[in-house]
Amino acid sequence: MPLPREDVDATTPKFLRDKYAIVGVGETGFSRGSNKTTRALATVAVRNAMLDAGLKPSEIDGMLSYQSNDSVFSPLVAGDLGIRLNFYMDVFGGGSSTEALIGIAIGVIEAGMCKTVVIFRSMNGFSQVRIGGTGARAAAPVSGDALHSRAYGWQSAGQSFAPTFMRHMYDFGTTAEQVAHVRVAHSHHASNNPKAYYKKRLTVEDVVNSRVICKPLHLLDCCVETDNANAIIVTTAERAKDLKQSLVRIRGVVGRCSKPRVDMHYQVGPISTVAGYYAKDILWPNSGVSPEDIDLTGSYDAFTFTTMLQLEDYGFCKKGEGGHYVSDGTIELGGKRPNNTSGGHLCEGYTHGIAMVIENVRQLRHDADDSCPIGPDGRRQHTYDYREGGCRQVRNAEVSANLGWAMPGTGSAMVMRRG
């Protein structure tokens, strides 16, 4: 089922492969009831990322954030930490923003506008503006274009994406049991992540027997809502060599790549295909690798299905075989290519994608923050024993892919490598 293709080639010989790096990551931890403002949360996360990198406030001069009218703006966070900015921008958006903003950070540094950029996302996604859409957003008037969606009780992410999920089951015979393995795998990963909100290991039966939210989604096919802030620092690899952490280079990025008619993407099919179908043709050529080169993935898990759909459309398996790919052990710790080793949005906490990038940065440093003992050099001595409560470091992790999701019609992606 070919999609209509435009003759637009977003790949470029000037892709800046390996020239930029992620040098610092930090977070607040995940809660349901932070009892803090998004300003306070963001300030703590950015500070932790600076400490992680070994950077002083005077060494940060760029700031980017994303939000949906639910968070603090950059100037307040910068001011609180004594950071004087040469560049900042606060962008509207949720999932898929992280990788896109990393690309923008590379662009503004390359343009000489600033030297080092911190990116944050701060949200009280449980205690203030609920990401599932209950509360204030559900009660807002149905106005203008929303008459074509919210007037029909078609509002939340799950409700909006479900026609894609359902059609994939119809087109390819994908089963609820197959995609439930995404939750199972991520729950096992979360059980080895001390900061995960849900650490309990689940079974396929737990998922498919949980109550129906909107078909084909059960409660446990859906991610958790949490309060948290997370931050990432981007600068040149040249500069990164003098900093505290081992080098994690950015190979290539794709930002908010979209299907045709992105306003109403269901008008152009196949609707069981998602934006990754287009994004892969930028990601793989620009990063100079292919799916076979990837050691671990961070495929966005707003729902079990979103992880599966993206892995399929980015080419980790053949079209239509995503259900098999996510249920054959590949995506589990100890499998060929683990996905979301933190537990992801389904178990660790909901961050609109940024924590999935942070997890892969730590994996590529070979420093996943699990419960393994810390050696005399101050680093964890990984056991690679993935039983409950144990290790979650992927052995010999060299190259990762993050696949960010906004909706079926829009996605972002990034390849990173160690060293």
Where on the chain is the footprint of other proteins (CB under 8 A)? 1-4, 132-134, 138-139, 141-145, 147-156, 159, 162-164, 166-167, 169-170, 176, 208, 211-216, 218-219, 261, 263-264, 266-271
Report in angstroms how near the CB of residue 2 gets to other proteins at its nearest: 8
Report in angstroms how near the CB of residue 261 gets to other proteins at its nearest: 6
Report in angstroms how near the CB of residue 320 gets to other proteins at its nearest: 15
What is each CA distance from 166 to 149, 170, 297, in whole angstroms?
Answer: 18, 6, 24
Contacts of 348 (CB under 8 A, 6+ apart): 30, 190, 193, 195, 196, 197, 198, 340, 342, 355, 359
Q: Give the active site residues.
A: 300, 350
In the complex with other proteins, the residue whose CB is nearer, 208 or 232, is: 208
In the complex with other proteins, the residue whose CB is nearer, 156 or 287, is: 156
Report in angstroms how near the CB of residue 330 gets to other proteins at its nearest: 24
Q: Is 404 helix (H, G, I), strand (E, B) or coil?
A: strand
DSSP string computed for 177-241: HHHHHHHHHHHHHHTT-TT-S------HHHHHTSPEEETTEEGGGB----EEEEEEEEEEHHHHT
CB atoms inside a 10 Å sphere around CB 313: 23
Report in angstroms how near the CB of residue 103 gets to other proteins at its nearest: 26
In the complex with other proteins, the residue whose CB is nearer, 327 or 342, is: 327
Report in angstroms how near the CB of residue 100 gets to other proteins at its nearest: 23
The CA angle 318-321-322, to the nearest 5 degrees, is 105
Residue type, 184: V
DSSP string computed for 239-261: HHTTSSSPPEEEEEEEEEEE-SS
In the complex with other proteins, the residue whose CB is nearer, 177 or 385, is: 177
| 82 φ/ψ angles, rounded to the nearest 5 degrees | 70, 30
In the complex with other proteins, the residue whose CB is nearer, 113 or 136, is: 136
The partner residues of 395 in beta bridges, in order of sequence, read: none
CB atoms inside a 10 Å sphere around CB 109: 23
In the complex with other proteins, the residue whose CB is nearer, 98 or 174, is: 174
| 229 φ/ψ angles, rounded to the nearest 5 degrees | -135, 150
Q: If you search the block for the tokens 């690899």, which residue do you land on?
A: 237
Query: How many Å apart are CA 262 and CA 259, to the nearest integer?
Result: 6
In the complex with other proteins, the residue whose CB is nearer, 113 or 264, is: 264
Q: Per-residue b/e over 347-370, b at no fewer than 16 CB within 10 Å? A: bbbbbbbbbbbbbbbbbbbbbbeb
Report in angstroms how near the CB of residue 213 gets to other proteins at its nearest: 4
Report in angstroms how near the CB of residue 163 gets to other proteins at its nearest: 4
According to DSSP, residue 373 is labeled P
In the complex with other proteins, the residue whose CB is nearer, 19 or 137, is: 137
The partner residues of 231 in beta bridges, in order of sequence, read: 26, 120
Query: How many Å apart are CA 157 and CA 313, to the nearest integer?
Result: 20
